[in-house]
Amino acid sequence: MFSLKTLQTRKQWSNWAETAQGPFEEFFTPRKVEELQEIVGNAFKEGKRIRVIGASHSFSPIALPEEFCLSLHEMRGLASINKECGEATFWGGTYLYEIGPLLKEHGFALENMGDIQEQTIAGAVSTGTHGTGITLGSISSQVVAWEWIDGRGEYHVHRREGQDDTLANSLHVSLGLLGILVRVTLKVLPLYSLKVKTFRATIEEGIASWKKDLSQFRHLEWFWFPGTNLLQVKQMEAISPVPQKKWEKTVSTISKTVVDNQAFYVLSEICRRNPKRTQWVSEFSAKNIPNRIETGYSYELFATPRKVKFYESEIAIPIEHFLECLEELMEGLKNNPFFVHFPVECRFVKGETGFLNPNHQQNSAFLAFHMYKGMSYEPYFEWIWNVMEKYNGRPHWGKMNNLTKDKIYTLYPKWDSFQAEREKFDPNGTYLNKYFRTLM
């Protein structure tokens, strides 16, 4: 569990899923840019490596600290807002759940969000955290300017200058490798609400209306239950701003906490103790997909509580291969050989210019695969990675993956350009942890 106090006293870091953990020497929570610069400057002189953590919600070891561990927990909030341009500058440590209410006070909202809001803005931006919507990019695509401290402790600011801006395309998803983001400026939209419809459909029904739904709804998301032909479909439309009604919020909170989390936890425990029950659980969950219609401010509805812990890998493929890939997955998972009861989450995201975006220059389908924490995930993920490789799948950096140096070269045509920027801003590799050293 993420706790600054525990980090301070135990000097031991772990991520949310406990898939990456290890000790470090010193913990820092600077309050000012100058203080942060001094810490980095000292690390540079002493040859110490630094890793900055956000909310530690990445599954891969990208945030794993070794010597200096640093958090921007004390550097949070709205730094400034330019209402005329629709731009808001946030301190890097701001949690996503703080952003919605802060922007609402000024009549604005984020363009899009993912399915939880526990992450920090800098952590989310650094990995290309995304939601769904084929006309929309990830949270990184909402950034118009970055302020950061490089590997020597020097302050930089850069404003995006069009599609071919090499520095902006490197900063776009930078994994904390160009420096520590202290503030980011986001393009924001006038406050809006969402109408969210969730229902069950057969996969045949989903496929028949997929293309139409993709263009008709601002956001479209599928959860396919392995070993079944059933989907939970989520369609979201933007509407004029109205808060969620009190009674609707109460019903929704109970339903999401009790049904989606507590009941799912019990079902997951059944699977862990007796994996042979997994297929039954997958079918049971699919048959009990609730029908829901909700309206409320966008930030109230994008995210849902995720209390049941899991391991996750997520891969982006060119959108034109989505249906073919899904068919292959359905065939391979027909008899549920890997004992998986978590649904496969399918989201659709517009291509982006960021050199390290999994959806770099291609509209993409992101398929996310989950396994209940405590159950064996290796055979499932190995199989998935082999299947997704055929479609030139690029993994989400913040999730479990099988990336190697060679694979990165094949998948990311602009890796060398990113590396050149990284070497400029971090010549001594102050920000490289062991995981990244093996990938460079």
Q: Which residues bind ligand FAD (CB under 6 A)?
A: 16, 51-58, 62-63, 72, 92, 114-116, 119-120, 122-124, 126-127, 129-130, 175-176, 180-181, 306, 396, 398
- Give the three-class secondary structure for 90: strand
Cβ atoms of 392 and 317 within 8 Å: the answer is yes
Both tokens of 179, joined, read 């420096």
Pick the closer one to ligand FAD by CB: 55 or 186: 55
Residue 159's Cβ-count burial label (10 Å; 0-12, 13-18, 19+) is exposed
Distance CA 235, CA 251 (A): 19
CB of 161 to ligand FAD, least distance (A): 21
Q: Are 370 and 333 in contact (CB under 8 A)?
A: no
Looking at beta carbons only, is 120 or 141 nearer to ligand FAD?
120
Q: Which is nearer to ligand FAD, 67 or 205 (CB)?
A: 67
| 40 or 175: CB nearest ligand FAD | 175
**In whole angstroms, what is the distance from residue 222 CA to residue 396 CA?**
18
Q: At 299, phi and psi to the nearest 5? A: -70, -20
> Least Å distance between CB 298 and ligand FAD?
14
**Which residue bears the tokens 């770099």?**
360
CB of residue 132 to ligand FAD, shortest distance in Å: 9
Give residue 382's identity as a one-letter amino acid code.
Answer: E
Q: How far is the CB of 274 from ligand FAD (least distance, A)?
A: 25
Nearer to ligand FAD, 208 or 259 (CB): 259
Question: What minimum distance in Å lies between the beta carbon of 408 and ligand FAD?
Answer: 15
Q: Are 185 and 218 within 8 A, CB to CB? A: no
Strand partners, 26: 68
Taking the least distance from each CB to ligand FAD, the nearer of 129 and 278 is: 129
Of 57 and 336, the one with the shorter C-beta distance to ligand FAD is: 57
Q: Which is nearer to ligand FAD, 302 or 380 (CB)?
A: 302
- Assigned token pair, 297: 């401010």
| Min dist. Cβ of residue 167 to ligand FAD (A) | 15
Shortest Cβ distance from residue 58 to ligand FAD (Å)? Answer: 3
DSSP string, 337-363: TT---SPEEEEEE--B--TT-TTBTS-
- Tracing tokens 């601002």 back to the chain, one arrives at 218
Distance CA 90, CA 146 (A): 10
Strand order in the sheet with 50-53: 26-28, 68-71, 50-53
Pick between residue 14 and residue 229 the one whose CB is nearest to ligand FAD: 14
Instruction: Report d(CA 122, CA 53) in Å as an integer.
Output: 9
Q: Are 61 and 397 in contact (CB under 8 A)?
A: no
CB of 293 to ligand FAD, least distance (A): 22
Q: Please report how close the Cβ of residue 425 comes to ligand FAD at its closest, in angstroms.
A: 11
H or E segment at 209? helix 203-216
Torsion sign (Cα): 23, 26, 30, 35: negative
Instruction: Provide, rounded to whole angstroms, the least separation between the CB of residue 74 and ligand FAD.
Output: 12
The helix or strand, by DSSP H or E, that contains position 287, with its residue range, turns out to be: helix 278-287
**Residue 198: its H or E element:** strand 193-202
Instruction: Rank residues 342 and 380 by Cβ distance to ligand FAD and give the closer one.
Output: 342
